[in-house]
Structure 1
Amino acid sequence: MNDYILLITMALAFFMTVLISPVMIPFLRRLKFGQSIREEGPKSHQKKSGTPTMGGLMVIVSITLSTLIVVMFFNPTEPGVEIFLVLFVLISYGVLGFLDDFIKVALKRNLGLTSKQKMLGQILIALVVYLVLDRHQFSTVIELPATNVGIDLGRGYGLLILLMLVGGSNAVNLTDGLDGLLAGTAAIAFGAYGILAWQNAEVMEVAIFAIAVVGALLGFLVFNAHPAKVFMGDTGSLALGGGIAIIAILTKLEILLVIIGGMFVIETLSVIIQVISYKTTGKRVFRMSPLHHHYELKGWSEWRVVTTFWTAGLLFAVLGLCIEVLLT
């Protein structure tokens, strides 16, 4: 029965996105919610200027509606706190990203929210998550993958939640830079966590949510694959980053996120390395960061970069699945 639930969830989220997008994209265009392209970016991106952004709205709506429909009408168990948390994180980070996008496109401030404003919002959301989990006496033990070793962090688990939600949302946000890049890599990562959650009846709602994300992202790719008709914007990328982090927390597979979300980690590290190198030596390690822009400037086509990163993301996801399923 669970197999059918997940298939229904994915199909529902996919078709919702496919049906909503042709209505929303012209609406965003009429509102002149077009993407502003940074002048220091690859020159090939200048032709994308004006492409509607905030496409993450369609993704969030599809994920939320399909998850609620399946949980309420198809899932035999009573909804628990998990469904509240995953949707709270998705929508809250989505709202934060929407404010960032709105400032960029409506107020013509290309950098959106300040880093302090964005960080404050991310921390407050993480604090709410910690308080809810603490109230429900959520386990503070983290298990090392492929071992039977568990470490009880106690109150320190709150710091881990903060690092995962803030770090996850920012890492995924950095990966959103090419047509279809984030949608594809995120679909793969969420799919891997959906498979792992599906094996645990106690977190079936988390599995439903994860698979709803996969379906919505596949539907979004219909319009976001190169050449993109709409961009996800921070509305979608921050929401997805928070979403993958809360899934890792609720499934008690926190450390595995570093592996399954390996591409997000690599993209983030490329930015950190670039900044440290430039500030300490005055030299850049990469032609441009995040890493996907480095390969663009080396002469790779956008589609080649995207498919290569999708493949790498798939390998990371398979590695994570093998570690958890075969070695644990």
Structure 2
Amino acid sequence: MDVYLLLGFGIALLVTALLIPVFIPLLKRMKFGQSIRQEGPESHMKKTGTPTMGGLVFLISIIATSILVASLAGVLNTEILILLLVLFGYGLIGFLDDFIKVVLKRNLGLTSLQKLVAQIVIAVISFFLLNEVDFDTGLMVPFTGISIDLAGIYVLFLIFWLVGFSNAVNLTDGLDGLVAGTASIAFAAFGVLAIDQQETSIALFAFTVAGALIGFLLFNKYPAKVFMGDTGSLALGGVLAMISILLKQELLLLLIGIVFVLETLSVILQVGSFKLRKKRIFKMSPIHHHFELSGWSEWKVVTVFWLVGLAAAAIALALEVL
């Protein structure tokens, strides 16, 4: 099975790395360029027009590679199909949002309500599919062996988890290579957890995603030649949450995905503080912008956040696996 894990990782990386150079000129000809928010850091204005929606490439790579390699390995099962559903569904939401903003030139894209309803629908569909694999509705407390059975309200937790992490990764996607790097670390960590649990299909999928993201990172690192857009970030967050659910390591995602958690908390604290006290806690949120405005270079912020994500994943694996 190790051969298939390496095969999935390698093929996804290679396909993404080969397709992106073809995709970038196409995006430029179609004028699918990123619009930079006026309220963002002034240094980001130079990124205006950089091709976006690059997430389409690694989503295609992940879907095709995981189906191919899982079929060869004989592990194309319901769990893989659920992961593909979430990846495709949340990716489609992101694509529609990007398309409206970039092509139709409507800056706000889908409304918050439209996004939320679509995200909930996909989460509910995935919950019903989980019932086909005799799914455990217990919520495991990391490092304790204690499981809290949520029974009928697990569906509410699942909706919250998928929607929450989908949006958390989306919020994090504000600097070149930030999400591609931190997400590849998180998926690789869950791949190791899946191997430890002998969940070969989930391990295969996780390493396939990690490979595709590293292939994308070659062109998304600073200075980025292409952005993933909501197409990529919403899909990655949703499917990362689903992997944690399938492995019954839901709460461990709070540690492995600590960068996404901190980015989201910074936004919540900033908005809450301003509404209640009319004062801001950070120079700008999400928190990666705070560090930029504090004088850190974009590359330094990204590198430090990668290292934080790597350290958190290593701690999680050391405590859970070793």
Superposition TM-score, scaled by structure 2 size: 0.98
Identity percentage of aligned residues: 57
Contact 2:94–2:230 (CA<8 Å) still a contact in 1? yes
Question: What letter corresponds to residue 77 of structure 2 in structure 1?
Answer: G
Q: Return the offset for 1:135.
A: 3.8
Alignment pair present for 1:105 and 2:102: yes
Paired residue for 1:264? 260
Counterpart of 2:283 in structure 1 is 287
Query: How far 1:200 sits from its partner (Å)?
Result: 2.3
Q: Given the alignment of the two structures, is residue 148 of structure 1 paired with residue 145 of structure 2, yes or no?
A: yes
What one-letter code is carried by the residue in structure 1 that aligns with 2:69? Answer: V
| Distance in 1, Cα, partners of 2:193 & 2:282 | 35
Amino acid at match of 1:198: I
Query: Which deviates the most, 148-157 or 46-55?
Result: 148-157
Aligned residue type for 1:48: K
* Contact 2:169–2:237 (8 Å) recurs in 1: yes
Give the AA of the match of 1:248. Answer: S
Q: Which moved more, 1:10-19 or 1:148-157?
A: 148-157
Q: Are residue 189 (structure 1) and residue 181 (structure 2) matched?
A: no
Aligned counterpart, 1:251: 247
- Aligned ranges for residues 56-71 of structure 1 at < 5 Å? 56-71=55-70
Q: TM-score normalised to the size of structure 1? A: 0.96
CA RMSD of aligned residues (A): 0.9
Instruction: Measure, in 2, the Cα distance between the counterparts of 1:196 and 1:91.
Output: 23
Distance 1:97 1:126 in 2: 15
Counterpart residue type for residue 319 of structure 2: I
The separation in 1 between residues aligned to 2:275 and 2:166, in whole angstroms, is: 25
- Residue of structure 2 aligned with 1:119, choices 112, 116, 120: 116
What residue is the counterpart of 1:10 in the other structure? 9
Q: Structure 1: how far apart are the matches of 2:173 and 2:239? A: 15
AA matched with 1:311: L
Q: Which string of whole-angstrom CA distances, capped at 9 and with x for unpartnered residues, describes residues 157-178 of structure 1?
A: 1111111100010000001000
SS of residue paired to 1:155:
helix
Rounded to whole Å, the distance in 2 between the matches of 1:113 and 1:294 is 27
Contact 2:270/2:285 (<8 A) preserved: yes
Provide the residue aligned with 1:50 in structure 2.
49
- Do the aligned partners of 2:184 and 2:209 also contact (CA within 8 Å) in 1? yes
Q: Deviations over 1:188-247 (max 9, x none)?
A: 00010011101222x211111100111001000111001100000000000000110010
| Number of positions where the alignment pairs a residue of Structure 1 with one of Structure 2 | 322
Which residue does the alignment assign to 2:195?
Answer: 198
Correspondence 1:177 to 2:174:
yes
Matched, 1:325 2:321: yes
Aligned-pair distance for 1:146? 1.1
Q: Tell me if the contact between 2:83 and 2:239 (Cα under 8 Å) persists in the aligned partners.
A: yes
| AA partner of residue 202 (structure 2) | V
Aligned mate of 1:302, from 290, 298, 305: 298
Instruction: Supply the AA of the counterpart residue of 2:90.
Output: Y
Report whether the alignment pairs 1:27 with 2:23. no
1:148 deviates by 2.1
Instruction: After TM superposition, give the deviation of residue 78 of structure 1 in Å.
Output: 4.3
Q: Which runs of 5+ in 1 are unaligned?
A: none
**Cα distance, 1:143 vs. partner?**
1.6
Q: Which moved more, 1:178-187 or 1:77-86?
A: 77-86
Aligned-residue offset at 1:137:
2.6
Q: Which runs of no fewer than 5 residues in structure 2 stay unpaired?
A: none
Shift in Å at residue 36 of structure 1?
A: 0.2
Shift of 1:136: 3.4
Query: Secondary structure, in 3 states, of the residue corresponding to 2:321?
Result: helix
* 4+ runs deviating over 4 angstroms: none
- Opposite residue 118 of structure 2, the aligned amino acid is G
- Shift of residue 112, structure 1, vs aligned partner: 1.2
How far residue 16 of structure 1 moved from its aligned partner, in angstroms, is: 0.3
Deviation at 1:251, TM superposition (A): 0.8
1:211 aligns with 2:204: no
